[in-house]
């Protein structure tokens, strides 16, 4: 699997679907996680290239090397921590990955340890047009190819908040 679409609603609403998606992934070295910017804070095309994000299950490190290459390859992306500060769409993906990676290590080695060796690249987006989407997509593809790492791209989405379930299921 090279990509996935995962929901980011509250765990009680979307956790079962997110868990099913992530349980099918063969873990790469890095996840590139794209999420919407619900707050509108910061740059509309924001990437973070350094740091760690804290979750209840521990810290997850940003893949600085890959993130820096993506940023260098894009005309649209800007280094911007503010866009990520109050945004949940990327953050809620990490505990699933942490839990499942730890479980995988436990099955393989016989003891449950907090493995969390994967890294991630957070990209927070809003108000995009086709040209910007192409630019960011090409920047990600080029950086992955240059780095020759195993990477899975995850798009975090609500899909819809506004349609009745029957209508959403039909579509």
Q: What is the dihedral of CA 5, 11, 15, 18, to 10 degrees?
A: 20
User: What tens digit of pLDDT does each residue of 71-103 get?
Assistant: 999 999 999 988 778 887 888 889 888 887 765
- Domain membership of residue 167 (yes or no) is no
What string of DSSP letters covers 9-57?
Answer: S-HHHHHHHHHHHHTTPPP-SEEEEEEE-SS--S-SEEE--S-EEEETT
Which among 41, 30, 109 is positioned nearest to 70, based on CA atoms? 30
- Quote the pTM value: 0.83
Strands 78-79 and 30-36: unpaired
Residue 164 lies in a domain: no
- Min mean pLDDT across 27-41, 48-62, 69-83 is at 27-41
Q: Average pLDDT, stretch 27-53? A: 89
Number of domains in the chain: 1
Query: Does residue 96 lie within any of the structural domains?
Result: yes
Q: How many residues does the chain have?
A: 171
Domain span including residue 36:
3-157
Q: Is residue 59 part of a domain?
A: yes
Provide the pLDDT for residue 119: 94
pLDDT of residue 14: 67
Q: Which CATH number does the domain housing residue 89 bear?
A: 3.40.830.10
pLDDT confidence tier of residue 70, bands split at 50, 70 and 90: very high
Tell me which residue has tokens 């990437």. 47
Q: Which two tokens stand for residue 21?
A: 């998606």
Q: Is residue 137 part of a domain?
A: yes
pLDDT (tens digit per residue) in 133-170 = 999 999 999 999 998 888 999 988 877 767 787 887 78
Q: Is residue 44 part of a domain?
A: yes
Residue 169 placed within a domain: no
The yes-or-no verdict on residue 61 having pLDDT over 80 is yes
Which residue is it, tokens 């679409």? 5
- Looking at every residue in the chain, the average pLDDT score rounds to 83
Residue 162 lies in a domain: no
């Amino acid at each position: 699997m090279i990509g996935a679409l995962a929901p980011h609603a509250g765990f009680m609403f979307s956790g079962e679907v997110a868990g099913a998606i992530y349980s099918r992934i063969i873990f790469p070295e890095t996840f590139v996680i794209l999420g919407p910017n619900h707050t509108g804070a910061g740059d509309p095309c924001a990437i973070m290239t350094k740091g760690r994000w804290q979750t209840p299950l521990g810290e997850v490190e940003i893949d600085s090397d890959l993130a820096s290459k993506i940023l260098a390859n894009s005309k649209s992306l800007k280094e911007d921590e503010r866009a990520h500060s109050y945004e949940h769409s990327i953050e809620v993906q990490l505990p699933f990955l942490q839990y499942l990676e730890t479980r995988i290590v436990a099955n393989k080695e016989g003891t449950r340890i907090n493995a969390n060796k994967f890294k991630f690249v957070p990209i927070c987006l809003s108000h995009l047009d086709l040209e910007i989407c192409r630019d960011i997509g090409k920047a990600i593809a080029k950086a992955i190819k240059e780095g020759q790492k195993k990477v899975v791209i995850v798009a975090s989405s609500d899909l819809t908040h506004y349609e009745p379930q029957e209508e959403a299921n039909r579509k």
